[in-house]
Chains A and B, each alone.
Chain A
């Protein structure tokens, strides 16, 4: 079991990170090249000012019309994304790994009990998204198999991490599953619906530039 653990946090982890980083670079460079060569009627209108204005406007909960008209989704979406990013990065157990493999020293980590609640929040948010997919015709109608896979992919490392931390079932197995699902999550970011993590700043900045620069109206 120890060998398996060493394998998943060693070679497999490097592989997962490699796919994530190289895949993300590839995807972004590919999209950038395609944008400047094939979207000639759009690319020249990109603007730092209006792009950042749009990103800023949408980062404020309940500021955009869409956020205001979907209050519950807004709250869950913000909580979900904040926890989704903070927990994996600033968990004290992960800080050890950051130090061990990347030489990055953190000055601050999340207190374990806070991280625990944040993990539960992510799991609860995923349950909310799943229920919404099933119960809401407008979402069910457009849901595909890959929307379910991606939800499963996102929630798995949080469930396995939570169970491992609380030593439910067998710790050794659970921690290996946690690392594997976490790496799958990372590696599939560039190649699944999770790609919105890479592209959101650009797609938001683009439409913000169009609205601010050309259409002289707000896009929120």
Chain B
């Protein structure tokens, strides 16, 4: 099959340079025998190639029905060939597999809603990634974040002293507004441990300020860890480095266990949430997480319901909700998200499709982390989302709420590229700006 959209990436290029068909086959046979089971086999044997999943995929829809972008099309071009040839393929083919699996599928699982047989294409694509990882063929930029995880236990090469430094900096900033605010470090037995993803201290530090302000105002007993384990993100999960994924989750939960906290509250992130309840925990052999993890959506809903946070005003003007796949299709928080949104904004106008049927942002699943070489893949690959947002814009909606970092990254690029002039908000942005600030100075 012709593959005419190859994009040069140093990680993929250097990766395949070390391979031979024999090496690939040897690894493939070990991989199939040792790491896959009935799921992959049944999926590959029973898919009847009806193509019904095609329309589920934003890449397919955005490329005007190009069948090479459909979920089954992507499986056929990658795992399908690998299985048929028992892994005896040339290195160039692995390049193609990696490009498709890492950059043309967000593992958003929308296609689940289209397959009568219940075939999990996201799983198959993550198995392609796992195989590429074992061959050492991963896109450069996302591999860099995975290396960072290995070396520092956070995604952004944040050094051990930089982390508390960033927290204390935000504490100092926030004390101008809330004179008694602390970012409590390593408080044993606190009710909540607040954990974030490493991009927050690295370049979205205001989110830590906002979270500290909300937690401070609510009066809950909370803490943040000062040592590695504070980062709940997990790019290793997306590169296919499951060993590292397991180590990361273990470090994160052990951090909470050492502090004897009751719950972990995590910032507005989707993939990290997936990592704790769906993938990292299973790799560690845990049925569920050992310390309860609460997503910000649930936590904000609790604060608002219990009256610990009261809104002084609401956000004016209609907003719409972009449902992030990992917390909605992944964890059913759609109703809680709507509750919080209705509490903090005057008017909500829903997109269609929405809730668990929503189109992906095209950044998740590690695609945005594959970096600049693949930026246009995301933007061209999500014309359908731009059209959806444009329809909202035409209805007078200029603000999109989405409680996920990846969604923000992806949608920002789409908004800019398609000249939509819309603004994106985290729930925390609005809550911080519009809540009653009883502990703040005037």
Contacts and interface: CB of A to CB of B under 8 A. Distances in A.
Interface of A: 31-32, 34-35, 37-39, 41-42, 44, 54, 58, 64-67, 69-70, 73, 77, 136-144, 147, 193, 195-196, 199-200, 202-208, 210-211, 214-220
Q: Chain A interface mostly helix, strand, loop or mixed?
A: helix
Contacts of A31: 38, 41-42
5 contacts: A35-B39, A42-B37, A42-B39, A217-B331, A217-B332
Interface in B42-78: 42-43, 45-56, 60, 65, 67-68, 70, 72-73, 76
B89 interface: no
Interface in B316-344: 328-332, 334
Interface stretch (B117-125, B188-196, B210-218, B422-430): B117-125
Query: Which of B36, B278, B328, B332 has most chain A Cβ within 10 Å?
Result: B332
B113 A66 contact: yes
Q: Which 5 A-B residue pairings sit nearest by Cβ, starting from the closest?
A: A38-B37, A216-B332, A66-B114, A141-B67, A207-B118
B135 interface: no
Interface string B253-294: 000000000000000000000000110001100010000000
Interface in B203-258: none
B106 to A, nearest CB: 16
A186 B53 CA distance: 28
A93 to B, nearest CB: 29
Contacts of B49: 139, 142-144, 147, 193
B65 A137 contact: yes
A138 B42 contact: no
Given A35-B38, A138-B73, A204 B283 contact: no
B430 to A, nearest CB: 25
A73 B51 CA distance: 11
Contact of B70 (A67, A138, A204): A138
Interface of B: 36-39, 41-43, 45-56, 60, 65, 67-68, 70, 72-73, 76, 112-120, 277-278, 282-283, 287, 328-332, 334, 353, 356-357
Contacts of B37: 34-35, 37-39, 42
B286 to A, nearest CB: 10
Nearest to A215: B330
A217 B41 contact: no
Nearest to A65: B113
A199 B47 CA distance: 10
A10 to B, nearest CB: 32
Contacts of A202: 42
Given A65-B113, A214-B277, A141 B38 contact: no
A203 B330 contact: no
A141 B60 CA distance: 13
Contacts of B47: 193, 196
Given A38-B36, A142-B51, A193-B46, A66 B116 contact: yes
B112 A207 contact: yes
A137 B67 contact: yes
Nearest to A191: B45
B357 A65 contact: yes
Contacts of B283: 41
Contacts of B330: 215, 217
Q: Chain B interface mostly helix, strand, loop or mixed?
A: helix
A215 B50 contact: no
Given A141-B76, A204-B118, A195 B67 contact: no
Contacts of B41: 31, 34
A138 B332 contact: no
Contacts of A77: 116
Contacts of A136: 51
A139 B119 contact: no
Contacts of A211: 112
Nearest to B287: A44
B50 to A, nearest CB: 7
B43 A203 contact: yes
Contacts of B119: 203, 207
Nearest to A133: B49
Nearest to B68: A141
Given A65-B113, A66-B52, A141-B73, A208 B118 contact: yes
Contacts of A215: 278, 329-332
A32 B38 CA distance: 7
A30 to B, nearest CB: 8
Contacts of B353: 65
A121 B68 CA distance: 32
Nearest to B332: A216
Contacts of A67: 116
Contacts of A205: 118
B85 to A, nearest CB: 13
B333 to A, nearest CB: 8
Contacts of A137: 65, 67
Given A142-B70, A147-B48, 6 more contacts: A34-B41, A66-B116, A142-B72, A206-B118, A211-B112, A216-B332
A146 B330 CA distance: 35
A35 B76 CA distance: 23
B385 to A, nearest CB: 17
Contact of A219 (B42, B113, B328): B113
A46 to B, nearest CB: 12
B114 A204 contact: no
Contacts of A200: 46, 116-118
Nearest to B355: A217
A66 B60 CA distance: 15
Nearest to B40: A39
A58 B114 CA distance: 10
A205 B42 CA distance: 13
B55 A69 contact: yes
A218 B212 CA distance: 35
Contacts of A193: 45-49
